[in-house]
Amino acid sequence: MTKEMQNLALAPVGNLESYIRAANAWPMLSADEERALAEKLHYQGDLEAAKTLILSHLRFVVHVARNYAGYGLPQADLIQEGNIGLMKAVRRFNPEVGVRLVSFAVHWIKAEIHEYVLRNWRIVKVATTKAQRKLFFNLRKTKQRLGWFNQDEVEMVARELGVTSKDVREMESRMAAQDMTFDMSSDDESDSQPMAPVLYLQDKTSNFADGIEEDNWEDQAAKQTDPRNGRSGRA
């Protein structure tokens, strides 16, 4: 075990690249190893098993966090928030469900990062309800062409996302009004990150999860628990 791995913390501190190297160096678990550890945690409350499960999955948090780089938020903070989601997933993971931990954890990792984005990116301060958050996170992805939606597209998007046509128009206007500002770089020349998104939230089926588990992780996650009320439904 390298010194970097020995000193690996759940929150990136100091040199971010060193943290990422250490996270990537931690051995991945086989399905049998993962199940054995998950059973120890689930049935015996074994905290060492929980620690190993978390550390062996930190690389996946880094992978997910990189998809949010376009928001101009510190990568270390995105990783830290994702790690919180990973820890929640490990605590709630049921090895009897029959999916790999990474497939279940993606939901929790992204949920925590989404909440962080919502707290820290100016335009989404208007997204105060679950429906508005869903609209914001999916509006760019559902656009079929550049420019404004026509009325049929507005109505289609509204139906798919469970909001009104007026909600779609208002959110589109807010996003369009901010695009020029949010695509510009910071006045601080030392900061190479854009001020706000040029890359919008990725689709839920991340490549690394697809490669490890082809099952629908979101449906499986819904069978387990919700952070608030026991049902999957977190935006």
pLDDT tens per residue, range 148-196: 678 888 888 888 777 888 888 887 776 665 544 444 444 444 444 333 3
Same domain? 99 vs 130: no
Indicate if the pLDDT at residue 216 is higher than 80. no
Q: Is 61 helix (H, G, I), strand (E, B) or coil?
A: helix
Domain interval for residue 129? 122-196
Question: Is 6 part of a structural domain of the chain?
Answer: no
Indicate if the pLDDT at residue 120 is higher than 60. yes
Question: Is 59 part of a structural domain of the chain?
Answer: yes
Same domain? 145 vs 165: yes
Among the listed residues 173, 105, 101, the one whose alpha carbon sits nearest the alpha carbon of residue 139: 173
Same domain? 108 vs 160: no
Question: What Å distances lie between residue 111 and 47, 127, 168, 172, CA to CA?
Answer: 24, 15, 22, 23
Same domain? 192 vs 202: no
pTM metric for this prediction: 0.56
Same domain? 65 vs 141: no
Position 231 scores a pLDDT of: 44
Question: Is 4 part of a structural domain of the chain?
Answer: no
